Amino acid sequence: MKHLRLYCMATLVIAAFISIAAYALGPELDRTYYADETFTGDIVGEFYRTCQGHITRWGITTNYYQDETFGCETIGSYTCERCIIYNGNVACGAPCP
């Protein structure tokens, strides 16, 4: 019986750490890089991070990107904005069409 209680406690502690780690990752992110500031030209790269922390990348990064985020805890949570990096400063806020 003592071993069963110890096993249950260990399982709860591990589950708590997994929950904290998943929360710390933040939302799912899909970042699409564009060739220019019009955001209508060629897509030249992408960075994608799932809620579980898996990352996929391809192409190149540019100063023109669109971020789409999806909440991992809240179903239906979604934001999208366009950003431009100019002289090292990031300017975001333009909504996606």
pLDDT in tens, 54-84: 999 999 999 999 999 998 887 778 889 999 9
pLDDT in tens, 14-30: 544 444 444 456 789 99
Tell me how far apart the alpha carbons of residues 94 and 67 are, in angstroms, rounded to a whole number: 11
Residue 82 · residue 97 · CB < 8 Å: no
Question: Is the full-model pTM beyond 0.85?
Answer: no
Tell me how far apart the alpha carbons of residues 23 and 46 are, in angstroms, rounded to a whole number: 23
Strand partners for 66: 32, 82
Query: Smallest Cα–Cα separation from 68: which of 39, 37, 27?
Result: 27
Strand partners for 86: 89
